[in-house]
Amino acid sequence: MPDRPAYLRIADTLRDRIRDGGYPPGSRLPTIAQLRAAHGVSEIVVRQAIALLRGEGLVETRRGGGTVVRARPRVRRVAMDRYRAVARVPAGPAAGPPTTTFTHDQRIGWDEYRLDRRFARTRADPELAGLFELPVGTELLRRRFVFYAREEPQQISVNYLPWDLVGGTPVADPDREPWPGGTLAQLSYLGHPPTRVEEAVRARMPTPEETETLRMAAGVPVVAITRRMLSGPQVMEVCRDIVIPADRVVLDYAIDL
Query: Which pLDDT value is given to residue 13?
Result: 93
The pLDDT tens digits of the residues spanning 69-106 come to 988 767 677 777 777 766 665 555 445 678 888 888 88
Longest C-alpha distance within the chain, in Å?
Answer: 71
pLDDT in tens, 119-167: 999 999 999 999 999 999 999 999 999 999 999 999 999 999 999 999 9
Mean pLDDT of 210-231: 92
Task: Please spell the DSSP secondary structure of 180-236, one letter per residue.
Answer: TTHHHHHHHHTT----EEEEEEEEEPPPHHHHHHTTPPTT--EEEEEEEEEETTEEE
**Neighbour tally for 14: CB within 10 Å:** 24
Is the model's pLDDT at 239 over the cut of 70?
yes
DSSP states of 108-124 as a string?
A: --GGGEEEEEEEEEEE-
H or E element: which one contains 28?
none
What is the CATH topology of the domain spanning 6-69? Answer: Arc Repressor Mutant, subunit A (1.10.10)
Length of the chain: 257
Q: Specify the higher pLDDT residue, 77 or 237.
A: 237
> Where in the chain are the domains?
6-69, 76-252
Q: What is the pLDDT of residue 142?
A: 98
Looking at residue 57, what is its pLDDT? 80
Give the whole-angstrom CA distance, residue 219 versus residue 221: 6
Query: What's the confidence (pLDDT) of residue 37?
Result: 93
The pLDDT of residue 26: 87
Residue 35: phi and psi, rounded to 5, are -70, -35
Residues 256 and 58: their CA atoms lie apart, in Å, by 37
- The domain defined by 76-252 folds into Chorismate lyase (3.40.1410)
Q: Give the residue, 37 or 74, on which the prediction is more confident.
A: 37
